Structure 1
């Protein structure tokens, strides 16, 4: 079977340009971070364990989306994606939007790591700038894909689909923060367990929905797909309401914590902000699902 390559005019398209930009900038970012010494990231030995969790998250984000973007870019160039048994239009939108969200998180977390001590090294600053440039690349691809016709965008390019990507992003951030909190001995056990179970269930539901959509399995669900989505959204709203209340409870407990525990305040504030954003995403998504069910019942 001959390999079909893009026509010459396609190499000058905005989509080709932004995907090339993504691959190059993400490669530069994780290469710069990999070349950093331990002393260039944290000078406080007590904070090394705390920062290691976030550094691993940043490196995983850049490397993972570099790999995905490179594969998508190659498959698009040789026009081989039609042989892959997944929804290509949904996959590309998901990777672009989720890549933008994850990279903006890394672009916030990484400067926080390198600026938490007195000396700021040039290579670390260059890596932080490269991470932000990578975020701009993914945001640009998201915009280019969103401007395409509705048939080319797929479900994940619609508003409910974007909300589900936001929910998946929130679940990834929460698991990261829970992992960091487990390494902090100041946490109350029941709060950790309730929050961890809530975030884990919601992240699992988001992954199930993503697999169903990317694999075009909606017609094989035991329940109608719109009811399936509405049920998952309702569960997500309830679980994140519990988790958000726990987050605000932790903030109110700051005054009673000993001085050696104060460092966890920044992590709890980040958890509260992300939980609130994700709860809002689930709430709006539930409203879309209820509206869709009502419209279907009236017709």
Structure 2
């Protein structure tokens, strides 16, 4: 079977240019951070988890976007047994959200250091440019017709990406809070929060894999009921984590940024699950009336 490549006009298309921008800026970002010496990075060892998290984001999306770029270039995606339109939208939106997190967390790490090197500042700027590229790609894909952008480009799909972002964002926060429980707080609430968000992250991953893998027709339950059940579980677990987070804030003797961040992320994730659950119930009601 002959390999088909893009035509000349496709090299100046917005999607091609934006993905090239994403690959280059993410590569520059993690290269600059990796070039920093261990001595420079050891000034705040308690924040190593966040630095590793940021590096993972830049490296992961560099790899995934490069693969998508290459497959799109040779027009090989029609031979891959996945929903390509749902995959590209998911990567773009999740890349924008997690790149935004890295663009906030990494400058926050720099604020905890006495001396900031120019390379670290350049990495922070490059990370912000990476977020901008993914945000623009998400916007371009969202302007396409519903048939072209797939389910993950709809409001319900975007909410599921937001839920996945919340689960990913909670990983470094919970790890830091469990390894260094703030003074005046007991560790068991953080274990409950970790378990709640761990289950929510697993549910979000399963949902996205089912949609991107085009397995919706193979579920043992109707897909709309499958989504409604997962959304309800997510609402209950995130509500528990949010209540624990606000309780921890009230019990703190001194302000703790990590506890506040954990509560904010839990609240945003709860909002995403609640709205998604409302969409799922409306869909079930509409189908029952047909």
Superposition TM-score tier, normalisation by shorter sequence: over 0.9
Equivalent residue, structure 1, for 2:268:
277
Partner Cα separation in structure 2 for residue 21 and residue 147 of structure 1: 20
Report the Cα offset of residue 13 of structure 1. Answer: 0.4
Q: How does 1:1-299 map to 2 (within 5 A)?
A: 1-41=1-41, 43=43, 47-48=44-45, 50-186=46-182, 188-255=186-253, 265-299=256-290
Q: TM-score, with normalisation over the residues of structure 2?
A: 0.97
Q: Deviations over 1:97-129 (max 9, x none)?
A: 000000000000000001112212111000000
Counterparts of 2:143 and 2:40, CA distance in 1: 41
Unaligned residue ranges in structure 1 (runs of 5+): none
SS of corresponding position for 2:221: coil
SS at match of 1:202: helix
1:173–1:274 CA contact under 8 A, matched in 2:
yes
**Structure 1 residue 185: Cα displacement:** 4.2
Q: Secondary structure at the match of 2:135?
A: helix
Show CA shifts across 1:153-203 (max 9, x none).
000000000000000000001122111112114452320221111001100
Do 1:93 and 1:142's aligned partners in 2 also have CA atoms closer than 8 Å? yes
| Structure 2: stretches of 5+ with no match in the other structure | none
Q: Indicate if the aligned counterparts of 1:42 and 1:113 stay in contact, CA closer than 8 A.
A: no
Post-superposition, which runs of at least 4 consecutive aligned residues in structure 1 deviate over 4 A? none
> When the two structures are aligned, how many residues end up with a matched partner?
288
- Deviation of the 1:206 alpha carbon: 0.4
CA RMSD between the two structures: 1.2
CA contact (8 A) 1:244 1:272 kept: yes
Offset, 1:42:
5.1
In the alignment, is the contact (CA less than 8 A) between 2:178 and 2:191 conserved in 1? no
> Which moved further from structure 2: 144-153 or 59-68?
144-153
Mapped to 1, the partners of 2:32 and 2:188 lie a distance apart of 40
TM-score by length of 1: 0.94
How far, CA to CA, are the matches of 1:40 and 1:122 in structure 2?
A: 12
